[in-house]
Chains A and B, each alone.
Chain A
Amino acid sequence: MSTASSHGVSTAAEAPGSDVFVSVRGLKKHFPVTKGMFRRQVGAVRAVDGVSFDIRRGETLALVGESGSGKSTIGRTILQLEKATEGSVVFDGVELVGLAAGELRRTRPRMQMVFQDPHASLNPRMTVSSIIGEPLLEHRTSSSRERQERVEELLRLVGLDPSHANRYPHEFSGGQRQRIGIARAIALNPDFIVCDEPIAALDVSIQAQVVNLMEELQNLLGLTYLFISHDLGMVRHIADRVAVMYLGKIMELADVDSLYAEPLHPYTRALQSSAPVPDPVVEATRVKIILEGDIPSPSHPPPGCPFSTRCPEAVERCRSEVPAWREVAPGHGVACHLVGG
């Protein structure tokens, strides 16, 4: 697999001296756009367009961005739920792209996913016990009694009553259903979990419960998270490092403190500025960056910097030349012509 990329983001913030667990290089996922009765390909939606980053063992890396920025597609492509168009995904030393089906199946228990919508991601006709027990049935050889014990243990672990194991998903609230989704994800003792907007569909008072549970489980089980979210407040709380995405590319990647204290990319600054602050005194005085227009279509990305059409600081060069990925401080990278000269 080629890891070279003509699209700027070719090298990521290497993490010196830390334990790289998942390494993504030059990853692309293009969905074909077809037309006519022979389904002739007339274009491509460049959902993920050349991204590179590392996830360290035991950390939480957050992917933030607006809808259509490709963050969910990255998560699905890392887990090989989507076939990568180009690039490489190395999981604990093993290249996953192009891995034989049998090998991949042996790796799957180690990487799991928690989905956004706890209503759509649980089969309404299965009991909680069979939902959580299904991965065990699929990947482990255990007796039904062992399985039952494991299900009860998992339910306790996520804060649900084991005596509810024979109930159906509709008998639970949204927050409880997300706990069931988490129990299913950790059933096979995974190392790595892609959390795709796990709290976006939950009420405010329930979000904190689920985030606390996820952090507890991370400490208890030594999990590594890829946390996909658009909620910058929650990302600041849960993440160790943050990658900001726009139109299929990473715009900025840094540890959470530097990203929030010193956002370098104009898009990162606009995104932070757009998030409302729950304090009327601050809101009344702070200067907001209001972006004009909408995110362009990923099937017709603008030439040059993908953000150039909305960037308040864009100059001529931004519209013609794709900015290269530059590391401006250790562990803090950015793709912008105007930063780090």
Chain B
Amino acid sequence: MTSNQPAHGAIEVTDAQPVLRVTDLTTQFDTQDGMVHAVNGVSFELADGEVLGVVGESGSGKSVTMMSLLRLIPMPPGEIVAGEAIFEGRDLLAMDLDELRLVRGGKVGFIFQDPMTSLNPVLTVGYQIMESLRIHQPGRSTELGRQALELLQLVGIPSPEERLRSFPHELSGGMRQRVMIAIALACRPRILVADEPTTALDVTIQAQILELVKRLRRELGMAVIWITHDLGVVAGLVDRVVVMYAGRIVEDAPVDEFYASPQHPYSRGLLASLPSAAVRGQKLVNIEGQPPDMRDRPTSCSFAPRCPHVHDRCHREDPALVAISGTRQLACWWDIDEDSPRVHR
């Protein structure tokens, strides 16, 4: 099967009310080694039907941010210290737990990196899909069975009638991830949160899953938050990119503008460090140093120790995420275009 549909523009993203607005989300973990500042004031919006790519390395807080929205982090040691997450006019962080349970797996679907640990090994695939349906829309089991079958067909599982009776271990990694997607889609979510869903898969299987998600998004019109460290995957899939570093969003831009002119030195470093045919035989550009220790509360720019454009102000003040154009936001004291520190901020 070959396809060459354009990845973007399938759904017009309008300036209407965002489906999700997150403001100043702050999450901490009280561990034996001290307080870990995992998420430090994250704000972003998700438009209806938009695909948002959240890019960052391990420990950048990208998963914890999304888990915090549905309060899926272990509390304690985790604690959501501040912030607001407005979904359909209601604050998810203030909602009582019974209501939130209906949002989880209902209007907001989740898929995780490792489909083997997310599925129950002793229950059949069909049972697990129907379980999700039953919680959110009680009905007769024959009707639920029919819907489960439709979902397996929707995610492209061959011989779906047989697969309903299969156990997770009888399926390959790619098929298990398709089942996870079917469960997440069971209640027609408005938002699908996908946390590195293709990282554990081989590239040819990853390509299958990416095509599937693009098709489902076109057919069902849901918004998608795709968490990944892979800048290649993001390029072909999303409408907008946010880059996270040390628990902060450092850049937020439409995908085309992001790849054409990344503004934050960290984004630029990440893109430059990818190997390409052009730099064969040369040293790869790398970002010197290591990610910061998240036990220290950031008081200055967290990227400063690794930044090629570091100057006095970076050590004194932590740059906030502010608009630098009609479509882009940036948290940096350096102006890449002017090649000088930003003047009016």
Task: Verify B273–A279 contact, CB threshold 8 A.
Answer: no
Q: Does B150 contact A (CB under 8 A)?
A: no
10 residue pairs of the A-B complex, CB under 8 angstroms, read: A203-B229, A205-B273, A212-B284, A270-B204, A271-B204, A276-B207, A277-B232, A282-B235, A283-B236, A284-B6
Q: Which residue of A lies closest to B198 (CB)?
A: A276
Q: Which residue of A lies closest to B210 (CB)?
A: A276
Min C-beta distance of B177 to chain A, whole Å:
11
Given the interface pairs A205-B270, A278-B231, A285-B6, the reply to whether A237 lies near B284 with Cβ below 8 Å is: yes
Query: Contact partner of B286 among A209, A277, A289, A293, CB < 8 A?
Result: A209
Q: Which residue of B lies closest to A292 (CB)?
A: B1
Task: Verify B286–A212 contact, CB threshold 8 A.
Answer: yes
Task: Verify A204–B290 contact, CB threshold 8 A.
Answer: no
Query: Contact partner of B290 among A173, A215, A270, A287, CB < 8 A?
Result: A173
Q: Does B66 contact A (CB under 8 A)?
A: no
Can you list the 4 inter-chain pairs with the closest CB atoms, starting with the nearest? A276-B232, A283-B236, A237-B275, A208-B286
Q: What CA separation (Å) do A321 and B235 show in the bound complex?
A: 40
Task: Verify B8–A203 contact, CB threshold 8 A.
Answer: no
Query: Contact partner of A236 among B231, B273, B280, CB < 8 A?
Result: B280
Q: Does B94 contact A (CB under 8 A)?
A: no
Q: What CA separation (Å) do A260 and B277 show in the bound complex?
A: 9
Chain A residues in 8 Å Cβ range of B270: 204-205
Chain B residues in 8 Å Cβ range of A208: 273, 275, 284-287
In the complex, which range does the number of interface residues on chain A fall in?
35 or more
Which of A208, A282, A286 counts the most chain B CB atoms within 10 A?
A208
Task: Verify B235–A278 contact, CB threshold 8 A.
Answer: yes
Task: Verify B276–A233 contact, CB threshold 8 A.
Answer: yes
Q: What CA separation (Å) do A203 and B199 show in the bound complex?
A: 12
Task: Verify B202–A205 contact, CB threshold 8 A.
Answer: no
Min C-beta distance of A97 to chain B, whole Å:
30
Interface string of B227-261 (1 = CB under 8 A from A): 00111111110000000000000000001100100
Chain A residues in 8 Å Cβ range of B290: 173, 175-176, 206
Q: What CA separation (Å) do A261 and B46 show in the bound complex?
A: 40
In the complex, which range does the number of interface residues on chain B fall in?
35 or more
Chain B residues in 8 Å Cβ range of A230: 202-203
Task: Verify B232–A212 contact, CB threshold 8 A.
Answer: no
Q: Does B208 contact A (CB under 8 A)?
A: yes
Task: Verify A288–B4 contact, CB threshold 8 A.
Answer: yes
Task: Verify A278–B259 contact, CB threshold 8 A.
Answer: yes
Q: What CA separation (Å) do A139 and B26 show in the bound complex?
A: 53
Query: Contact partner of A66 among B202, B230, B276, CB < 8 A?
Result: B202
Q: Does A67 contact B (CB under 8 A)?
A: yes
Min C-beta distance of A274 to chain B, whole Å:
4
Task: Verify B269–A205 contact, CB threshold 8 A.
Answer: yes
Task: Verify B279–A279 contact, CB threshold 8 A.
Answer: no
Chain A residues in 8 Å Cβ range of B172: 294
Chain A residues in 8 Å Cβ range of B277: 236, 260
Min C-beta distance of A212 to chain B, whole Å:
5
Chain B residues in 8 Å Cβ range of A278: 231-232, 234-235, 259, 271, 274
Given the interface pairs A175-B290, A205-B57, A295-B202, the reply to whether A281 lies near B256 with Cβ below 8 Å is: yes
Q: What CA separation (Å) do A276 and B235 show in the bound complex?
A: 8
Task: Verify B6–A236 contact, CB threshold 8 A.
Answer: no
Q: Which residue of A lies closest to B245 (CB)?
A: A205
A-contacting residues, B260-314, CB 8 Å: 269-271, 273-277, 279-280, 283-288, 290-291
Q: Does B49 contact A (CB under 8 A)?
A: no
